[in-house]
Amino acid sequence: MTGPGRGESVPEPSPSAPDAIVPPPDGPTPSSDSTPEPATGAPLSPDDAGAPPPTSPGATRPGLGTFTIEGRAAPGLFVVGWLATLLGLGIVFVGALAPSGLLVYFVGPLFLATGLIAGAGNQAIERRAHGEAYAGPSPYLVFAAMIAATYAIGFPVGLVLRAVLGTGTPEYVVRLLGVGLQALVFVGVVRLTVVGTNALSWREMGWRRPDGSTLPDLSTGALFAVPVIFVTSILAVALVNLFNVEPESPLPATGTTVGLIVQLIAGAVIAPIAEETVFRGFAITAWRRTVGDNGALIRASLLFALAHVLTVSGDSLGQVGGLIVVGFVTPLPVAFALGWLFLRRGSIWAPLGLHMAFNGVILVLSELAVNAATGTG
């Protein structure tokens, strides 16, 4: 996969100039029963005579929230997107009342993913037809499709793996498989809805073939890990003490060397690759074409923080609220640092270096703390 060179920014496409107005030729005005002719003098075919004029760049278009197929470049995708999304939400709601894990975690998300992916395809076609600066699906819509697809695929795969592996499989192995599956879904949805619709290429999202600048970029990013961890730790301690809650780590310490190695593969290699592809490579590149660098940095960072609180649960409403605040605010320093590096270096390698080093150091420190507390290691 290739990408823009270091320090380069992705050029923003400018809309094409409107067609010039051609004055009518000299001579008598044709009568009303005359056959219209184009500027070239060739008679129009029946298809051309009845075809609608092409959409001009910048023209207003109905958004996804407008329930109409009038003026749609892809009315079929629009209808499928809305119907499948509403049906999926309804199934999830019914499953929550039943309650039914099959409906909540598989059937509902399956329809949701189908509808959201169809909606993403419709949005890409609509934006391209109207000549917008970014002719692709919204990162919000794509991220929602990723979450729905993760549940729809993860539920049956998880059942199969549990049956095959049995109950004696270490939890860190199960977590590794879960992280790997989620990464495949995330990258796969980007490939389908963004690269597949020609909205952005992997190169435009910062993925370029390793070259002489790759290692310096990775190293530069890794150097930022220590100060970012310092700021994040201070913020986390303050919030935890303020709200009197203790967030659960998605990759808790295992107390074993093998477990630590597996956790590092999951948390410091696989997860950063998927998350940088989504939140920096895709989200920032898409948004910077419409709201500029600063707007893209803020939006992508907030979306990254939101992703860390989607599965929060607790024993009381107050506890859940505290966990949401802690879980949302704590990742913001690293999110802004990752986005800043991506914009400054012009490639995915620098934020990837920071993300890998950040997660790796946190996992090692957590493991050391557990070993010290239990007297092992």
3-state SS record for the chain: CCCCCCCCCCCCCCCCCCCCCCCCCCCCCCCCCCCCCCCCCCCCCHHHHHCCCCCCCCCCCCCCCCCCCCCCCCHHHHHHHHHHHHHHHHHHHHHHHCCCHHHHHHHHHHHHHHHHHHHHHHHHHHHHHCCCCCCCCCHHHHHHHHHHHHHHHHHHHHHHHHHHHCCCCCHHHHHHHHHHHHHHHHHHHHHHHHHCCCCCCCCCCCCCCCCCCHHHHHHHHHHCHHHHHHHHHHHHHHHHHHHCCCCCCCCCCCCCHHHHHHHHHHHHHHHHHHHHHHHHHHHHHHHHHHHHHHHHHHHHHHHHHHCCCCCCCCCCHHHHHHHHHHHHHCCHHHHHHHHHHHHHHCCCHHHHHHHHHHHHHHHHHHHHHHHHHHCCC
Q: Which one is predicted more confidently, 167 or 97?
A: 97
CB burial string 126-149: b at 16+ within 10 A, e below: bbbbbbbbbbbbbbebbbbbbbbb
Q: How confident is the model at residue 76 (pLDDT cuts 50, 70, 90)?
A: confident
- On the question of pLDDT at 37 being above 70, the answer is no
Q: How confident is the model at residue 60 (pLDDT cuts 50, 70, 90)?
A: low
165 Cβ neighbours under 8 A, 6+ residues apart:
173, 174
| pTM score | 0.80
Q: Could you tell me which of 282, 290, 332 has the C-alpha nearest to residue 307?
A: 332
Tell me what pLDDT residue 130 has.
Answer: 87
292 Cβ neighbours under 8 A, 6+ residues apart:
none
- When mean pLDDT is compared across 14-28, 65-79, 90-104, 312-326, the lowest value belongs to 14-28
- Please state whether 166 falls in left (phi above 0), alpha (psi between -120 and 50) or beta: left
Q: How many CB atoms lie within 10 A of CB 340?
A: 17
Distances (CA, A) of 4 to 204, 220, 339, 351, 356: 6, 17, 16, 15, 21
249 Cβ neighbours under 8 A, 6+ residues apart:
366
Amino acid, res. 323: L
Tell me what pLDDT residue 62 has.
Answer: 61
Of all residues in the chain, the percent with pLDDT exceeding 90 is: 68
Asked if the peptide bond before residue 75 counts as cis, ω within 30 degrees of 0, the response is no
Q: How far is CA 113 from the centre of its chain?
A: 14
Q: How confident is the model at residue 3 (pLDDT cuts 50, 70, 90)?
A: very low
Q: How confident is the model at residue 6 (pLDDT cuts 50, 70, 90)?
A: very low
Task: Read off the pLDDT of each residue in 203-226 and give the average, rounded to a whole number.
Answer: 94
Of all residues in the chain, the percent with pLDDT exceeding 70 is: 81
